[in-house]
Structure 1
Amino acid sequence: MTVTGAGPGATTGERMPVGTVEIRELECFLVLAEELHFGRTGERMYVSQGRVSQLIRALERRVGARLVDRTSRRVRLTPFGEDFLGALRPAYAALRATVEDARAAALGDGGPLRIGFQGVAGYGFMEVVGEFEDRHPGCATRITELPLSDPFGALHRDEVDTAAVLLPVREPGLVLGPVFSRQPQCLAVSRRHPFAERSLLDVEELAGSPLVGVAAPAPEYWREAQAPARTPSGAPIPRGPLVGTLQEGLSLVAANRGALLLCRPTSEYHSRRDVVYVPVTGLPESALGLVWHAGRENARVRAFADAVAAGLSRLAL
């Protein structure tokens, strides 16, 4: 089947086969409709801003009408684009649900479960994984460590089915399940740092020391939570270098290039002679949350979330 003519607001006279529409184009349009910003859409889809423009133009050629109005100041959907969005959302959700339901029916509770994690996969978490495997012997788990600088990318790219990541989580399309392992925070500093002799710090004292931050593609709100730019009273905290992994951060700390905020279990696990961990009062507790993609939720993910929820009392230790 082919488009026989361009509709109102068409951007081109080209005729393109409807059957060749790419799922990636539809996904790009759905994300752009939420963000109304080509740059943020590219960040969420892990493509360049130019690629976002290409995908949208291709989709507009296929439907035969302009979907998006873009100026130097703002992006908005055309009336045709609003109508298209209203029809596309339920259809896309139904398509994804159909595929996932078919997969779940074919596998039952068997098949692999890919689990990502940040920080330390211990302190009860691996016990829950073991108990889950005991109850679901046909479901083999695969554990993947997630980079500090990319907490959500593996979920968006369908590289893991669920992940235990540091809060906060405000990602459209992702579901936040059980929250666990709430822990006080401490400051990792070099043994040469002025804070190294302290037994306790107040959060306001962070204004005197550069903090090692997290590099992109982690979203800005998440990076700010891990390395705040200001104390609760509003005093600025100097910016330190940006890192992609925890080991990079600890290496810079040891070199006295900056300090790094960590939760207590992570500091205990990464004990080293050239780094001191000092408790900090006045900061919110660190916490982990189990997260998965709403469009790829299946029976195994739900069963694992139930297992984590059942083990919350142990995971909080």
Structure 2
Amino acid sequence: MRGTVEIRELECFLILAEELHFGRTGERLYVSQGRVSQLIRSLEQRVGGRLVDRTSRRVRLTPLGRDFLDDLRPAYAAVCDAVENARAAARGVSGPLRIGFQGVVGYGFIDVVGEFEGRHPGCVTRITELPLADPFGPLYRDEVDTAVVLLPVEEPTLVLGPVFSRQPYQVAASRRHPFATRTVLDAEELATTPLVGVAAPAPDYWRAAQAPTHTPSGAPVPRGPTVGTLQEGLSLVAANRGVMLLCRPTSEYHHRQDVAYVPVTGLPDSALGLVWRGDRENARVRAFAAAVADALARDPGIG
């Protein structure tokens, strides 16, 4: 039937779109060059139009072929993911799980990872630190399967799972800064000093949450330098180039003799959330999210 498409034809077209060479496409598919031509002709007959222009010198996609490629890639990836999810469900949760983490990996969270591995001994986890200035990039680039990131998360293609480790903020300030002698600060006092911010590619809304541009009453907060990593930020703080907002566990973990950490009131608590790409969700990710949710039900203070 004209409307019935064979998966082998689609695979052949996708590889040919990458290689733009019938011979190399055949090598990758372990078939002859003639078989590649046959598969492409069959697909074009089913589609009802030419997808590939081929001359003695080059191969290129037609406008129809380019449009078809744009539509086919995500659909084919979804089919492959569905098959992989079914395989994982059939054999149980197994294989690697890459976990990105932003901030400090607390003992409570490490315990959750250990509990997850105990439940699913066939699944091997790997924890990777995420850049401060790129909380979502590793997910989009498929470098991690799931990630623990600072909130907020307003990415339309990401799923926000369990939220945990709600913590009050502290201000990191140079020992030479007037804030260093204080025992507590009000958020309105941020209007009196530059605040170290986060650089791109983190989205604007997320950067504004980590380094507010205004106090709760609306007073503007002077902008300090922007940084890509936490260590860059603390170094600038120590040099008295500005102050920086950090959650309490991060302040405690990254203690420095030349930096003072002062509690600040009047700001919402920071929080971490487990996120993953909706189009890359699999049995391992779902099982890990369930393990985090179960741990939070027993102990909401996990951090």
Please indicate, yes or no, whether the TM-score normalized by the shorter chain is above 0.5. yes
Q: Which residue of 1 aligns with 2:63?
A: 62
Q: Which residue of 2 aligns with 1:113?
A: 97
Give the one of 268, 271, 280 matched to 1:296: 280
| CA distance, structure 2, for counterparts of residue 248 and residue 272 of structure 1 | 13
Equivalent residues, number: 248
Letter in 2 for 1:265: P
Q: Which moved more, 1:88-97 or 1:283-292?
A: 88-97
| CA distance, structure 2, for counterparts of residue 60 and residue 316 of structure 1 | 55
Q: Which residue of 2 aligns with 1:251?
A: 235
| CA distance, structure 1, for counterparts of residue 65 and residue 195 of structure 2 | 51
CA shift in 2, pair 1:211/1:99, >3 Å:
farther
| CA distance, structure 2, for counterparts of residue 196 and residue 307 of structure 1 | 41
Which stretches in structure 2 are left out of the alignment for 5+ residues?
1-11, 19-59
TM-score by length of 2: 0.75
Kept after mapping to 2: 8 A contact 1:190/1:274: yes
| CA distance, structure 2, for counterparts of residue 94 and residue 218 of structure 1 | 27
CA shift in 2, pair 1:211/1:60, >3 Å:
farther
| CA distance, structure 2, for counterparts of residue 315 and residue 273 of structure 1 | 32
Kept after mapping to 1: 8 A contact 2:94/2:121: yes
Aligned sequence identity (%): 73
| CA distance, structure 1, for counterparts of residue 289 and residue 238 of structure 2 | 37
CA shift in 2, pair 1:315/1:154, >3 Å:
farther
Give the one of 245, 261, 264 matched to 1:261: 245
Q: Which residue of 2 aligns with 1:41?
A: none
Kept after mapping to 1: 8 A contact 2:198/2:226: yes
Q: Which residue of 2 aligns with 1:125?
A: 109
Letter in 1 for 2:166: R
Q: CA deviation at 1:64?
A: 6.6
TM-score by length of 1: 0.72
Q: CA deviation at 1:98?
A: 2.4
Q: Deviations over 1:180-238 (max 9, x none)?
A: 00011111001100111111111111001111111111111101100011111111111
Q: Which residue of 1 aligns with 2:165?
A: 181
Which stretches in structure 1 are left out of the alignment for 5+ residues?
1-16, 23-58, 68-80
Q: What does 1:151-166 correspond to in 2, within 5 Å?
A: 151-166=135-150
| CA distance, structure 1, for counterparts of residue 230 and residue 76 of structure 2 | 37
Q: CA deviation at 1:102?
A: 4.8
Q: Which residue of 2 aligns with 1:201?
A: 185
Q: Say yes or no: does 1:316 pair with 2:301.
A: yes
Q: Say yes or no: does 1:140 pair with 2:141.
A: no
Q: CA deviation at 1:107?
A: 5.6
